[in-house]
Amino acid sequence: MNVKLKSCISAWKEALGDEFADKRPETLRRYGANLTPYGAQPVAVLCPGDQNELRRVLEIASQHQVPLYPISRGKNWGYGAAMPSSEECAIVELSRLNRIIEVNQELAYAVVEPGVTQQQLYRYLQDHNLPLVMDVTGGPPEASLIGNIVERGYGQTQYSDHFLFSSGMEVMLANGRTVTTGFGRFENAKTTYLYKWGIGPVLDGLFTQSNFGIVTKVGVWLMPEPEYFGVFFFQVEDETVLCQVIEKLRKLRMDGTLTAATHLANDMRVLSALQQYPWEEAGGRFPLPEEIRKKVISRWGISRWNCAGGLTGSKPEVLSKVKRIRRELRGLCRVRFISERMLAWIRRLAPLFKLLRGVDLNQKLAIFGLMKGIPTEKPTLGCYWRKRCQAPASNLDPVADSCGVQWCAPVIPATTRDLTEMLTVTREITDRCGFELNVSLNLVTPRALSCIVGIFFDKEDAEQSSAARRCNEELHSRYIELGYIPYRSGTPYFGTYIKSSTSPTSTFDDVCQEIKKALDPANILAPGRYGIG
């Protein structure tokens, strides 16, 4: 370790105390570890306890020219978790800035700091008996709300687009100044958390998927508990039918029948959230042989494609929506509907069902919970898909357990043609690399499908790891070539895919670099993140 770095870490230790400025090798290893086949270790891990300490951390970093990699909770699994964008960085973890600053029941929003987790806000709403629903992701309950907002992640309800349904950011810049966006820049503004755009230029978008500042506070919109809630679902075995179904769903999403982000998952996506790889039945072979696939999914009642979406409103409204969905999909698939009351019954019967058929219905119903804003760690089981050891029953820690997951998330037009092409290309590549096709499709907007392709592997198996790397690279290149650009990137390949594939006539990169130079001239914050700095 060089002298500059040494004196920098001493200064941090002085500012935060030994416990919260950590450079022990095991700590650095833990924060560098992640589910992708890539890795990078930080030089230290800093956990400021409040904004003043965070400001001090920034000051020291600037003085010593040591870059920082800010994370909220570091649960960005499958996109690189906590790992820094470059090995010279110290991680600043914001888990101690974990106040729920305000929950406004009347106007249905919460104001949170970056350390606040999905589970924490959910518990708060439950404990205070507030009739408010949050949108959650299928990611870990311990993941940060702000972390997901700044990565522009999404969930399953009407408020699925987490960046869109937030309002009023407070951001700390590299030099320690605090900027409030939207109306928040006016003293006593009463609408900072109610109206997103404010007056003058909208800066919020700058602080997502970038490295221009550290978001330290944001307003998160919540939904009032719906009068009536139910879930429609259907299954499609034939993929050409699925590709037709998409056109119908687009229509229903566009005309307002579907207001939530409807979710379609293929057999392997559903299965991987229900059980680990059936090593025994497959006789140790992988990828999963066709006859075993059929056997296992039929046991769970899974089809090749499985769709579910939440419906809310008054009871007659929801029921007429169900009718409308059925009418539109007639001849293509059979649409079923379960009301919340029926769901409660099924949950009660689940133990009996498990006894009789050996199938865990509650694990299967977790996705329906997501549609009502209940965080769950059940989908995390997917990370253990290719592991040969048994996953723990709870408190899953896929990073510690060397699970391997990589997400590649192209956005495609919601048309038969594009879905067919995307699936063909994906199947060809994953097959060739030795992985099961594992895909979900999300109608996050009425016009586009956000596709989440998962590469699940065992990180302890070097061969699988290197295949996963190859697979991820091929998928990215091929998608970008076809015009199916991912909505999000993973830390290990920021530079590779985003920067170099930008059209040579575009000046988007230049503009980002110029803004970076203006707001963080010493390139202190997350250098290289999303190809910037």
**Pairwise CA distance, residues 63 & 48, whole Å:** 17
**Pairwise CA distance, residues 33 & 41, whole Å:** 8
Q: Going residue by residue from 126 to 155, which x/- string records binding to a copy of itself, judged by CB under 8 A?
A: --------------------------x---
Torsional class of 251: left (φ above 0), alpha (ψ -120 to 50), beta (otherwise)? alpha
Our CB check for a copy of itself shows the closer of 99 and 326 to be 326
The reply on whether position 107 binds a copy of itself by CB under 8 A is: yes
| Part in contact with a copy of itself (CB under 8 A); list of ranges 72-80, 179-187, 376-384, 454-462 | 179-187
Residue for token pair 């978008």: 205
**Pairwise CA distance, residues 248 & 234, whole Å:** 13
The reply on whether position 4 binds a copy of itself by CB under 8 A is: no
**Pairwise CA distance, residues 472 & 368, whole Å:** 30
- Cα 180 from chain centroid (whole Å): 25
Our CB check for a copy of itself shows the closer of 27 and 208 to be 208
**Rounded to 10 degrees, what is the CA torsion of 339, 154, 378, 325?**
30
| Distance in Å, CB of 36 to a copy of itself, minimum | 18
The reply on whether position 519 binds a copy of itself by CB under 8 A is: yes
Q: How many positions of this chain bind a copy of itself (CB under 8 A)?
A: 105
Residue 25: half-sphere exposure toward Cβ, Cα within 13 Å = 1
| Distance in Å, CB of 269 to a copy of itself, minimum | 21
Of these, 96, 299, 324, 427, which contacts a copy of itself (CB under 8 A)?
324
CA dist list (Å): 193 to 77, 113, 166, 342, 526 = 29, 14, 8, 36, 28
Q: Which of residues 232-251 bind a copy of itself (CB under 8 A)?
A: 251
The reply on whether position 289 binds a copy of itself by CB under 8 A is: no
**Pairwise CA distance, residues 101 & 116, whole Å:** 10
| Distance in Å, CB of 373 to a copy of itself, minimum | 15
| Distance in Å, CB of 413 to a copy of itself, minimum | 6
Our CB check for a copy of itself shows the closer of 378 and 516 to be 516
| Distance in Å, CB of 212 to a copy of itself, minimum | 7
Q: Which of residues 415-454 bind a copy of itself (CB under 8 A)?
A: 415, 418, 444-448, 450
Q: Which of residues 244-283 bind a copy of itself (CB under 8 A)?
A: 251, 254-257, 259
Q: Which of 349, 354, 328, 351 is nearest to 338 (CA)?
A: 349
CA dist list (Å): 495 to 30, 106, 466, 469, 505 = 24, 44, 19, 15, 18
Our CB check for a copy of itself shows the closer of 48 and 184 to be 184
| Distance in Å, CB of 363 to a copy of itself, minimum | 30
| Distance in Å, CB of 56 to a copy of itself, minimum | 18
AA identity, residue 504? P
The reply on whether position 522 binds a copy of itself by CB under 8 A is: no
| Distance in Å, CB of 385 to a copy of itself, minimum | 27
Extract the runs of DSSP E, i.e. beta strands, from 222-321.
Answer: 223-224, 228-236, 263-266, 305-313
Of these, 31, 69, 109, 305, which contacts a copy of itself (CB under 8 A)?
109
| Part in contact with a copy of itself (CB under 8 A); list of ranges 75-83, 173-181, 284-292, 362-370 | 173-181
Among positive and negative, which fits the CA dihedral 55, 60, 62, 68?
negative
Helices (H), 289-375: 290-300, 315-329, 340-357, 361-370
Residue for token pair 């003058």: 200
Of these, 25, 201, 283, 284, which contacts a copy of itself (CB under 8 A)?
201
Residue 374: half-sphere exposure toward Cβ, Cα within 13 Å = 10
Q: Which of residues 180-199 bind a copy of itself (CB under 8 A)?
A: 180-181, 183-191, 193-199
Q: Which of residues 458-517 bind a copy of itself (CB under 8 A)?
A: 480-489, 498, 501-512, 514-515, 517
Residue for token pair 């040591």: 66
Our CB check for a copy of itself shows the closer of 412 and 468 to be 412
The reply on whether position 69 binds a copy of itself by CB under 8 A is: no
SS3 of 173, please? coil
Burial annotation 323-341 (CB, 10 A radius, 16+ → b, else e): eebbebbeebbebebbbbe
Of these, 31, 77, 221, 435, which contacts a copy of itself (CB under 8 A)?
221
| Part in contact with a copy of itself (CB under 8 A); list of ranges 58-66, 135-143, 318-326, 350-358 | 318-326
